[in-house]
Amino acid sequence: MTFAPAVRPVFATLGAVFLMAACEAGPPPATPPISPGNSSAPREVNIIAKDWEFLPDPVDLVSGETVLFHLVNGGLEIHEVVIGDTAVQDAWEAAEAATVGHPPGPTPIVSVPPGLEGLRVVIASGQRVDVVWTVPRPAGTGAAKATLLVGCHIPGHWAKGMVVPVRFVQPSPAP
């Protein structure tokens, strides 16, 4: 296929634009100022599950704040949102592994040891589930030191990369 000489510069320009956009990947952008939520006025946070990723990446939270999660499944598969540390994620991954061959989602055979539940919500394709949650604050400290993750443990989803970190940020100064 040949293109007229006047069309070639257009393709070259488009190629350069796509190349520059691909090269701009790097660390996540800085978080805009956050006014933390509280029990009477939770801060709204969207988490979108797609096939096979979560958005945003990372999820920005303030230790101890109350948030209203809008959990949206924008994928074609059933997904879950599990928020917890590595032990919580490992517990759900092991529990969900027992469901291979069963329909995805909550079943009577899925359980984890007490204290390792974290926050877990199963969401069908196209659904939105709203959940109010208070971000944990480690005992004896003012800022969270634990690493929290957002993951999906429907069999095979974690292995496909359905995990993003929680980034603990400082609240914006009061006006």
pLDDT in tens, 57-81: 999 999 999 999 999 999 999 999 9
Contact indicator for 74, 52 with CB cutoff of 8 Å: no
**pLDDT of the residue at 164:** 97
Strand order of the β-sheet with 119-123 is: 59-61, 163-168, 149-151, 79-84, 119-123
Read off the pLDDT of residues 95-121 as tens digits, 9 standing for 90 and up.
Answer: 888 877 776 655 555 666 777 778 999
Q: With left for phi above 0 and alpha for psi between -120 and 50, is residue 40 left, alpha or beta?
A: alpha
pLDDT surpasses 90 at 44: yes
Q: Are strands 59-61 and 149-151 parallel, antiparallel or unpaired?
A: unpaired
* CA-wise closest residue to 135 among 73, 60, 79: 60
46 φ, ψ to 5°?
A: -95, 135
CA–CA gap between residue 110 and residue 99 (Å, rounded): 7
Q: What domains lie within the chain, and their CATH numbers? A: 43-168 (2.60.40.420)
CA–CA gap between residue 123 and residue 164 (Å, rounded): 17
Read off the pLDDT of residues 144-159 as tens digits, 9 standing for 90 and up.
Answer: 456 899 999 999 999 9
Per mean pLDDT, which range of 41-45, 139-143, 166-170 is the poorest?
139-143
DSSP annotation of 127: -
